[in-house]
Amino acid sequence: MNFVVVNSDGVQRTDTYTTSSAGSYVFTSKGMAQNKQYRLRAKTGDGGFLSRYNVTGAWNPDSY
């Protein structure tokens, strides 16, 4: 499964985290800006996107 952060236009704004098990990861910002809306996108191995998944932890895009 691949995880990325995208902006409101669907443009990827971080590197890609690829995993098949639970884990932790710190994304590298690629053009994120303060006070903007972002979402975490999860893409499955067959190319589909998950609409529901559980993510725990702290995330503050404004700290980039």
Global confidence as pTM: 0.72
Confidence of residue 44 (pLDDT cuts 50, 70, 90): confident
Task: Please say if the pLDDT value at position 47 is more than 70.
Answer: yes
Length of the chain measured in residues: 64
Q: What is the pLDDT of the chain when averaged over all its residues?
A: 82
Separation of alpha carbons 13 and 42, rounded Å: 14
